[in-house]
Amino acid sequence: MSAAITGVFNILATPFDMDDQIDIPSLRKLVDFQIRCGAYGLTILGVLGEASKLTVDERKLVVATVMEANAGRVPVVVGTSHQTTATCIQLSNNAIAAGATGVMISPPRFDKVTDDKIVAFYEEVANAYSAPIVVQDFPPVNDVIMSPDVLATLANRIPNIRHLKLEDPPLMQKITAIRERTNLYEIFGGLGGMFFLEELKRGAAGTMTGFAFTEILVAVYKAFNAGQVKDAERIFDHYLPLIRFENQPVINLSIRKELLRRRGVIATARLRQPYVGIDYETREEIPWILRRVGIVDPTRPALQ
């Protein structure tokens, strides 16, 4: 296994059974599935993983299950964000002890956001361990906007901050702005992979997203890195209707879980409250979208 945090990392959904409990068999199956799809690594307990809806003990259960199922095959990054800094540090230490390659952390909500508070928070958590920290820059989760200047300060001042999950549009312009200030980051996009090709052209190291057809993003990444840019463009453009459809605001996770269910990976598409489900018409649009991009059987790899 390479311990490098680079390439296409799938952000795992957290499967739930009909009683809204964590579906351990489906979670194990999901780990195997994403690795078979070619994921370079796994990111667990992010926003997509509904981490904020889980108790601390449930988060530990997810970590333990994924680590056992993964069995060291690919690097695992664990989301350990929490409103309480002490709990964030506890979750991070538990994740590293369980074998995680790194942890992904977003700032907590502040009464009043300042750059100094952001830097002080990351310095406090970074002092608790030396493992890699992936800074999560996703303002909708905490109402914290991190400027390119403050992000550069984090990398320049904190040795174990060398990775950034960037989901603060305009993405490509922010990548360039950060690169102008520091070259220390490996930058990852997200947002369902909607701008993956453009992110790569701006120098992104990969993506961390829960897109249900990981093998498509892997094919784009491999072609681009091999210098086969036209092939990367062709693959990305062909499947863009599916990427776009899946990442609809508000209902993206509901669609994603339904696609994973149809791929035969998770037993149910249930989410924990609060969430917005998909209506009958959206369910009927799924096979239409799949046919448009040439996917006849979603249980099989999209690229043959």
The structure tokens listed for 290 are 């799949």
Give the pairing type, strands 161-166 and 133-137. parallel
Residue 206's SS3 state is strand
Dihedral sign, CA of 2, 5, 7, 12?
positive
Domains in the chain, ordered, with CATH? 7-231 (3.20.20.70)
Residue 3 confidence (pLDDT): 78
Distance CA 146, CA 160 (A): 18
CB of 2 closer than 8 Å to CB of 35: no
Per-residue DSSP letter, 22: B
Of 11, 21, 10, which Cα lies nearest the Cα of 267? 21
Residue 52 confidence (pLDDT): 93
Instruction: Kindly list the distances between the CA atom of residue 251 and the CA atoms of 34, 248, 271, in Å, as whole numbers in the listed order.
Output: 22, 6, 11
Q: Locate all alpha helices (DSSP H) within the chain, ordered by sequence.
A: 24-36, 56-70, 85-98, 115-126, 148-157, 171-181, 196-201, 214-225, 229-246, 252-262, 280-292
- Beta bridge partners, 187, equal 164
Distance CA 239, CA 228 (A): 17
Largest CA distance in the chain: 52
Distance CA 265, CA 259 (A): 9
Residue 107 confidence (pLDDT): 97
CA dihedral 11, 286, 274, 207 (to 10 degrees): 20
CB of 282 closer than 8 Å to CB of 253: no
Of 214, 201, 204, 194, which Cα lies nearest the Cα of 9? 214
Q: Print pLDDT tens along the chain (304 aa).
A: 567 999 999 999 999 999 999 999 999 999 999 999 999 999 999 999 999 999 999 999 999 999 999 999 999 999 999 999 999 999 999 999 999 999 999 999 999 999 999 999 999 999 998 899 999 999 999 999 999 999 999 999 999 999 999 999 999 999 999 999 999 999 999 999 999 999 999 999 999 999 999 999 999 999 999 999 999 999 999 999 999 999 999 999 999 999 999 999 999 999 999 999 999 999 999 999 999 999 999 999 999 6
